[in-house]
């Protein structure tokens, strides 16, 4: 197996674009080679199997969705109140929507995982860790509300993002923005 880490990452990133653009069934080594503009056969030298590539794509999406240092520093500064909570949720939604192919690829992976037990296991661990990370961040932050509110916000914001990315005409920009505010208002108790 080839070892060049930049090349590997470029191939995984190409796989994310193929997943979002062509669906899970469109994800072949050849499609990834074409997307990454590398010679045919390259992807098959870097990944043991298609499942291996799917799994790495799932991990990479989460990596790319992490906030940068400036965003984290900004989040930690100032009063950790309900207004800050709402601001963080808006930032989160905007960040995920900005990487729209990542979120769409993740939905494709979820659907594919209904047909692939190994992928399902990897994704389940990843999502559980993501929920726990959010709960832990909240607990350490001093933000109001309980861990249940963290989970409920994840549920509702995830589907709001599905709506925005797949059927953007269902809610206007203002409606979507206001829904985030009212979710924080109702779910997060002092």
Greatest alpha-carbon pair distance for the chain in Å reads 57
d(CA 146, CA 139): 8
Q: Are 39 and 2 in contact (CB under 8 A)?
A: no
Q: How far apart are CA 79 and CA 101, in angstroms?
A: 34
Selected binder of its own copies within 90, 95, 110, 116 (CB under 8 A): 110
Helix, strand or coil, per DSSP, at residue 94: helix
Is residue 104 near its own copies by the rule CB under 8 A? yes
**For 26, which DSSP code?**
G
Task: For 77, list phi and psi in degrees, rounded to 5.
Answer: -85, 150
Stretch that binds its own copies, among 4-12, 36-44, 60-68, 177-185 (CB under 8 A): 177-185
Out of 4, 49, 132, 166, the only residue in the binding site for its own copies (CB under 8 A) is: 166
Decide: is 108 part of the binding site for its own copies (CB under 8 A).
Answer: yes
Pick from 66, 72, 98, 170 the residue near its own copies by CB under 8 A.
170
Q: Does 107 bind its own copies (CB under 8 A)?
A: yes
Output 34 or 38, the one with its CB closest to its own copies.
34
* Closest CB to its own copies among residues 30, 120: 120
Among residues 2, 76, 177, 186, the one that binds its own copies under rule CB under 8 A: 186
Phi, psi of 22, rounded to the nearest 5 degrees: -120, -5
Question: 3-class DSSP state for residue 79?
Answer: coil
Left (φ > 0), alpha (ψ -120 to 50) or beta: where does 144 sit?
Answer: beta
Counting contacts by CB under 8 A, is residue 115 touching its own copies?
yes
Supply the DSSP symbol for 145. Answer: S
Interaction of residue 34 with its own copies, rule CB under 8 A: no
127 binds its own copies (CB under 8 A): yes
Residue ranges binding its own copies (CB under 8 A):
20-26, 104, 107-108, 110-115, 120-121, 123-124, 127-128, 131, 148-149, 151-152, 154-156, 158-160, 162-163, 165-167, 169-170, 179, 182-183, 186-187, 189
């Amino acid at each position: 197996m080839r070892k060049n880490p930049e090349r590997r990452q470029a191939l995984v990133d190409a796989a994310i674009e193929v997943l979002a653009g062509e669906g899970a069934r469109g994800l072949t080594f050849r499609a990834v080679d074409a997307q990454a503009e590398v010679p045919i056969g390259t992807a098959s030298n870097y990944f043991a199997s298609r499942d291996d590539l799917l799994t790495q794509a799932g991990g990479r999406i989460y990596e790319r969705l992490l906030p940068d240092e400036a965003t984290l520093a900004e989040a930690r500064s100032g009063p950790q109140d309900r207004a800050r909570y709402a601001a963080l949720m808006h930032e989160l939604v905007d960040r995920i929507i900005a990487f729209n192919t990542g979120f769409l690829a993740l939905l494709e992976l979820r659907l594919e995982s209904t047909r692939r037990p190994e992928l399902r296991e990897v994704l389940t661990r990843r999502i559980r860790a993501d929920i726990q990370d959010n709960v832990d961040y909240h607990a350490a932050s001093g933000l109001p509300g309980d861990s249940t509110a963290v989970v409920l916000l994840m549920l509702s914001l995830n589907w709001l993002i599905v709506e925005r990315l797949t059927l953007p005409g269902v809610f206007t920009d203002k409606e979507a923005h206001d829904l985030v505010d009212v979710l924080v208002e109702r779910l997060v108790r002092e």
